[in-house]
Amino acid sequence: MITSMEINSAPLAPGVQIPLIGLGTWPLRGEEASRAVAHALELGYQHVDTAENYQNEEAVGEGIRRSGIDRDDIFITTKFNTEWHSRDGVREAFARSARRLGVDYLDLLLVHWPNPQQGRFVEACEGLQALADQGLIRSWGVSNFKPEHLDLVMDTGLRVPINQVQIDPTTSQPELLAYHREHAIQTAAYSPLGRGAGFLDAPALTVPAAELGKTPAQVALRWHMQHGRVAVPKSADPTRQRQNLEVFDFALTSKQMLAIDALESGAPARLDSDVFFH
């Protein structure tokens, strides 16, 4: 468990650090997305998360350019659909995303959904490793993969650097997280604050928030940080964007962490990646 207040990134690949807080951009589109990205980067965000299926890569790229922040100072994550699950397809997916974003390389490219019925996600991962070997992407990973999907990838000898999955205090998928720890797979949490979730009213979050002069959402994000996870909360609101970034100037005690851990409900992820995909 991370307790230092200064740590704001985690190792992902040799020479690659991923910022622990990123800006999620689903379902932002058009000018709203560009404005949100530009403002977040101006505030100090260094990590922006998008995807082919969000249909906002062009807008995200415009926000990056509008911010005036140097490209090399921004960590860009995007994801591709199962249409591209082949070695040649992955190369085409990269080219299309890079073109839409207006960049020459990507920091992190993810398989968005495994689609096991199609049965080609292993080949997609092999294609991603080839792109990384060629320097077109700095790192690669997967999203929404279960342990059985990860097993098939690693059976080829590949090491999966990161898996982006739904994680929040009531849906923490403890078995999956244990698998990640066992196999040294970094966890990234999407919907890290839930979706209209009532857990932000739980005393496990409201009590430390009051004691620390923080919001319950900030406490929840700090909980992710101290577990060493990347979190990508979405917000187009300037105030919430700032609050979501202000989680490195305080620390939760072990007792507070355990109280938040205890909110785990046993609920599965909202979407079942054995059957859902795009």
54 is catalytic: yes
Could you give the C-alpha distances from 35 to 41, 51, 53, 235, in angstroms and in order?
A: 10, 17, 20, 11
Burial per residue of 37-73, b for 16 or more beta-carbon CB atoms within 10 angstroms, e otherwise: bbbbbeeebbbbbbbbbbebbbbbbbbbbebebeeee
Could you give the C-alpha distances from 108 to 132, 237, 251, in angstroms and in order?
A: 9, 25, 28
Residue spans of beta strands (DSSP E) within 54-169: 75-80, 106-111, 137-143, 162-166
Alpha-carbon span 246 to 234, nearest angstrom? 15
One of 54, 105, 179, 190 is an active-site residue; which one? Answer: 54
The tokens of 88 are what?
Answer: 């040649």
* Crossing angle of helices 147-154 and 121-133, rounded to 10°: 50
Residues belonging to the active site: 54
